[in-house]
Structure 1
Amino acid sequence: MEHKIKLGIIGTGNIFKAAHLKPLLEHPEVEIAAVCDVNKERVEEYAGHYKIPYAYTNYQDLLKHEEIDAIDICTPNLFHSEIAIAGLKAGKHVFVEKPDAVNPEEAQKMADAAKESGKILMAMRNNRFTAASRYLKLFIDGGGMGEIYTGRCGWIRRRGIPGKGGWFTTKELSGGGPLIDLGVHMIDLAVWLMGNPKPIAVTGATYTKFANNDMSDSIDSDFGEKKEDGMFDVEDLATGFIRFDNGATLQIEFSWASNIEEGTNYVELRGTKAGSRIQNGQLKIFTETMGELTDLVPVLKQNEAPHGEHLKHFIDVVKGRTAPILTPEQGVDMIKILSALYQSAESGKEVRM
């Protein structure tokens, strides 16, 4: 029988429960061999219910197991790089939830550790795995959009501050608000579709206007663990502008709360042959055919579990069946963009990269 990937889970909070657990349990080549969380009661419950052999409250203990091939990190953002680097040095392949790290220095240390260890390092980019994204990437790579020279992307909520007062809204643990939480998704998708040009300069602005507002109309508000007397020292809205080395540009907007008609997420690109928009998972392409302006709406089989598809891709890469869709260097570039946007927001000036 072919060797199963023995996986160690580090962090068993909401993102693991909602998006990682099911596809990992169902994967025929994966065995969850160990689970770790600082919440002793929760980790023991997981171990007992799913018959996982080992349960820990300290990730260092999990990493000592030589039989564990890879780890999946689903902790608060601050600990992503620390655990990833330790895992790579322990000879494990590493999958980590987004964002890769809370600053570029830590992201670079992760990339360096991956190179030195020869192990796979991959951060969650589930939006690359939706049906719309995959179709559009093939369309672009086939020359269907021509030169992509500008675009805009965003993820804006009317109300939806996750775990208010918890680690999401505590800068020391999260690294920031919706820019680092939601921005990493849509900026990455836009840059990937554009062919991964290198960012050279950014301008950003951030706002915190809803820290004292308790009204909620979104299930996203319940995603994190709330604390009534907790911290809220991050932004609830960010806007900005990114310039790339090939002359292309990208406008951005991300919010957990703002007074808009309704929430939405989107990536809109403009090319010399066609334009495109993925909005809430639906793709439209805008072009010309037979001398007329034409809107194309591909009929796609919707992928309901892009997180799971990315985890499957990680296993395929570990098994040597395919090349990684995401490199550690792209992860470093992403964190550099986010960090520069925060720097620009603080200084009120453009930041060169």
Structure 2
Amino acid sequence: MSGKVRIGIIGAGNIGNVHAHEFSKLFDQCEITAITDAFMPLAQERAIAYGIPFVTATPEELIARSDVDAVIIGVPNQLHAPLAILAIEAGKHVLLEKPMGINSSAAKRILQASAKSDRVVMVAHQMRWEAIPMAIKAQVERGELGRIYSAKTGWFRRKGIPGWGTWFTQMDQSGGGPLIDIGVHMLDLAIYLMGNPKPVSVYGSTYAEFGPSRKGIGTWGMPNWNGAYDVEDLATALIKMEDGSTLSLEVSWAVHMDTDNLPFVHLMGTDGGASYRGGSGKLLTEKFDQPMETTLLRPELDEGERARLSRHFLACIQTGTKPITSALTGFTNNLILDAIYESSRTGHEVVLDWNMNE
């Protein structure tokens, strides 16, 4: 398309504010024309802060506007699929916060709607645009690590249950606990860095040892002590790929463990390895029978992953190209997450069902 991309934001909370901040800086490429939120005073506050001309009463009203080309969706997980599908069918481009769907069925519906449209549908997995993972990905694509046969990823929060009793901790609204909250980030990033092998089976377990007793409460979000907690607070899984490689995943909101609370990915290749931990990383190999490593550091003047993500979304709209974090990647993540929960429930390995016709 030619001209500026006109953006509407659904959800004016923390993540909606992040998107408003980032896209407002790209005023030469886009303009935010409308915003909405279930709590109208917050939407009005954001509109004033970012000079957004229209505040709509409902998401449906925003999606229907002729001055909105692209919709950013940052609302509770159970609303992702209904709003994304509505926007796609209305001819809008969509940038959707993770997870793409509350479960794989919802994600599949989004993927199917996307397949029938020429609109850009992108999942906002910002960790792919962090400087260290980008540097590691470049090495992987050059073949410096050889064949990646195994990987390990995770994120341990020691005392970090968010918004106890709110939608975050209720399965029917969130789809899960740390596995679908922060685990989906690590799952997405690790598979991407591995070279996008096709997952074929999953064995996993989930545990709720803190949340039901109101322990392990973090500082993010306001608790609702009249609410409920029926999600996990720790999950672990082994994912097997079609090419024979494996991925180990471990995440928690609360755990009695010595942890630095940093996300991590470790890649093990035949010719070298790579490690990412928060803002730093390493490339590891062996030369002259001696182990060698190169330290990777985030550039001091790095513009940030959210800026790169935002520009990528706009570039895909302008050029008609497929985003790196496409609807298919979102569905893949949801398919694995569902299998982990199912494996924990049954105690058995789950073979992934890639049937897209149902």
- TM-score range for the pair, normalised by the shorter chain length: over 0.9
Pair 1:213 & 2:211 matched: no
- Matches of 2:4 and 2:49, distance apart in 1: 21
- 8 Å Cα contact 2:279-2:297 kept in structure 1: no
- 8 Å Cα contact 1:39-1:57 kept in structure 2: no
- 8 Å Cα contact 2:121-2:323 kept in structure 1: no
Deviation at 1:291, TM superposition (A): 3.4
- Matches of 2:122 and 2:60, distance apart in 1: 20
Deviation at 1:106, TM superposition (A): 1.4
Aligned to 2:103: 103
Deviation at 1:257, TM superposition (A): 0.4
Aligned to 1:283: 281
Aligned to 2:220: 223
Aligned to 1:341: 340
Pair 1:43 & 2:47 matched: no
**Aligned equivalent of 2:249, options 247, 252, 272:** 252
Structure 1 spans left out of the alignment, 5+ residues: none
Amino acid across the alignment from 1:267: V
- Matches of 1:312 and 1:228, distance apart in 2: 40
> Using a 3 Å threshold, how does the CA distance of structure 1 residues 232 and 304 change in structure 2: closer, same or farther?
farther
Aligned to 1:294: 292
Q: TM-score, normalised to structure 2's length? A: 0.93
Deviation at 1:304, TM superposition (A): 6.2
Q: Percent identity?
A: 37
Deviation at 1:4, TM superposition (A): 1.3
Amino acid across the alignment from 1:74: G
- Matches of 1:153 and 1:49, distance apart in 2: 38
> Using a 3 Å threshold, how does the CA distance of structure 1 residues 229 and 132 change in structure 2: closer, same or farther?
same
Aligned to 1:330: 329
Number of residue pairs matched?
347
- Matches of 2:306 and 2:184, distance apart in 1: 14
Structure 2 spans left out of the alignment, 5+ residues: 353-358
Q: TM-score, normalised to structure 1's length? A: 0.94
- Matches of 2:231 and 2:297, distance apart in 1: 40
Deviation at 1:121, TM superposition (A): 0.2
Deviation at 1:76, TM superposition (A): 0.6
Aligned to 1:204: 204
Aligned to 2:356: none
- Matches of 1:343 and 1:299, distance apart in 2: 39
Amino acid across the alignment from 1:213: R
Deviation at 1:323, TM superposition (A): 4.5
Aligned to 2:93: 93
**Aligned equivalent of 1:234, options 215, 219, 231:** 231
SS in 1 for 2:80: helix
Deviation at 1:300, TM superposition (A): 4.1
